[in-house]
Structure 1
């Protein structure tokens, strides 16, 4: 029997691990695959690791990796992909916002010939209005400035063939944005829509600011548009400055009056200085990414594991 490796990143999820396993057991008999669970403890500060150890003792197909500290979800995803041994691999959230009952339908699509079967939320019920607004506009922006197209509402929850996983593992970049990488590698993809679900227990560690920073990572990793915008702003500011100088010079010749407006001059200087700092910030962000890539630090450090890695 072929194997399905299930990668489950965990950060402070002591309340949801047992619920997740309980729901997944119901699905195991509906999919003709051997299930392999790989929980990745991303430096949790609660009792998540203890719960995972107990689960590993009770079920032989439950495994865990535990990081030395919190490295982030992207690190947990790549660690799980590297540890997976199945012919098929899926990524799921432990809070049950990714419906386990979709797996039989997802596997059926794989059997039909698709390489990736992803999931997407058809609505954002229960999500804060501001977060939904920015999320929708993020997908509009990234799809308009990047060659890699991302599906609005797409989740990390997707079923992939081994060929797809191997292709993703060939991407050795340190700065990772998985939603973009899953799209970048291509392959035949099918999306299944479902209604949004609330967490089964516990509280999310994702707030507006962390999601905003995550969206910036996606834009910078998959588009050079911010650099183009910075260049355009610089050229436009320079042109406006030249026109302003010509205007004040001619005005002084015609009226024979000294150019007034010390406050306006200060405002213009501050405005142009702000634009320069803004553009330097964009350039600096890209240089920072280069700096991290050049150092070639590992994406994560495993402190302990039930797997032989």
Structure 2
């Protein structure tokens, strides 16, 4: 069985196109297909569409509806937990993940000694220049300072074997960053490149600010480099302060103590104060992550599944 996990946030318009495309591709696949849709607190009629899909294909369409928006990471985790297939794939409902790659991905796994076939974009055509710049910068930073390699342009769209999925599910942390987790668990992985595609319908829920916060979480979750950098710059600042103090003392002894120079002094004080606030923010980010982990809150809360719909009949 092939399990297709699909996180959904306001995907009412995209769902009919997505199911049609996958069903067409499914005719060339020998595996039976099950869909696991995860409604991540959508504000439109996504849940209504999922109910209708389950009524049409009760044996193949399953859904999980959260009590509110918990984020894509939680939706992916819930979908992987519910998946029953021997092969599991993650896909977005907007068809930016080409379903026609599935037969090729299945063949690669079944004919070679690999556990995962991932996908990556050949380029970032159609993406705003500022977003592309920061995306490339993120991958350079996280690969330079982190212990886990992340592939530039890699999508969540990937086909995995059951052992790899079980390993991912064994990582129950609250602060999740799937791209890092996929790499951290290991297993043999190959990548297929494809040209970037636009959404088939609707608007993306990922703003620049949400992507920026997501990238910061990725760096913090899989690297302590920001803390090391803060300690390094702090040490350099202390050494520079001692040197400056010695210089000021000797200058006062040799040439007196003029009152001029207060603008430069104020600038230095503001600069050092700014560094201190920056480093406190970095440390606070890590402490915040620890705080959330120690609360042991659930990663998500389910409000409704297809079983609840069946009980109402």
TM over 0.5: yes
Structure 1 residue corresponding to 2:54, chosen from 41, 53, 56 = 56
Structure 1 residue corresponding to 2:35, chosen from 34, 37, 57 = 37
Q: Distance in 1 between matches of 2:282 and 2:22?
A: 44
Runs of 4+ in 1 over 4 A off after TM superposition: none
Alignment of 1:243-262 (within 5 A): 243-262=243-262
For structure 1, list consecutive stretches of 5 or more residues without a partner in the other structure. none
Hey, what does 2:276 align to over in structure 1? 276
Q: Distance in 2 between matches of 1:156 and 1:207?
A: 18
Contact 1:252–1:259 (CA under 8 A) maintained in structure 2: no
1:215-266 Cα deviation digits (max 9, x unpaired): 0011000001000000011111111111111111111111123353222222
Contact 1:27–1:101 (CA under 8 A) maintained in structure 2: yes
- What is the TM-score when the length of structure 2 is the normalising length? 0.96
Q: Distance in 2 between matches of 1:67 and 1:263?
A: 56
Hey, what does 1:67 align to over in structure 2? 66
Contact 1:6–1:89 (CA under 8 A) maintained in structure 2: yes
Number of residue pairs matched by the alignment = 306
- Secondary structure at 1:299 match in 2: coil
- What is the TM-score when the length of structure 1 is the normalising length? 0.97
Alignment of 1:59-98 (within 5 A): 59-60=57-58, 61-98=60-97
Q: Distance in 2 between matches of 1:276 and 1:132?
A: 30
- Secondary structure at 1:206 match in 2: coil
- Secondary structure at 2:149 match in 1: coil
Which deviates more from structure 2 when the two are superposed, residues 240-249 or residues 258-267?
258-267
Q: Distance in 2 between matches of 1:208 and 1:55?
A: 32
**1:307 deviation in Å?**
4.6
- Secondary structure at 2:130 match in 1: helix
